[in-house]
Amino acid sequence: MEALAIVVGVEADRLEQMLPPAGVGMKMEPIRLCAACYAESPCHKIEWQLKVTQGCKQHQLRLLSECPNCGARFKVPALWVDGWCQRCFMAFAEMIEYEKPIEILKE
């Protein structure tokens, strides 16, 4: 971890905080996002990819795994710099209206 910290220029303690808790798996596909979070701060949150994550804790919304306009699955977060779907160009921030409250999932 120390060697990685030196290479990326981030303290080892901070890197450890970025990792999922021990025993919690990652869900690499599909890539998921909370459009409400993205509208506030355009960056991908690692917790969106945890297998145990049902939705956005902050907004109490179900995560999106594809564009609600064209159905394209989201590409890797590194390609999100423009903030829109790579196929139909719908802005991530506009996708908020398509996110469902987490409570709907429990019914």
User: CB under 8 Å to 96, separation ≥6 — which residues?
Assistant: 35, 36, 39, 61
Running DSSP on this structure, what letter comes out for residue 21? P
Task: Count CB atoms within 10 A of the CB of residue 76.
Answer: 10
* Domain boundaries, position 83: 21-106
pLDDT at residue number 79:
64
User: What is the distance between the alpha carbons of residues 32 and 70, in angstroms, rounded to a whole number?
Assistant: 16
Structural domains of the chain, count: 1
8 inside domain: no
6 inside domain: no
Given a contact cutoff of 8 angstroms between Cβ atoms, the answer to whether 83 and 91 are in contact is yes
pLDDT at residue number 35:
94
2 inside domain: no
Q: Over its length of 107 residues, how does the chain's per-residue pLDDT go in tens digits?
A: 889 888 888 888 887 777 767 776 666 788 999 999 989 988 888 889 888 888 999 999 999 999 999 999 988 776 677 888 989 999 999 999 999 998 754 44
Given a contact cutoff of 8 angstroms between Cβ atoms, the answer to whether 97 and 32 are in contact is no
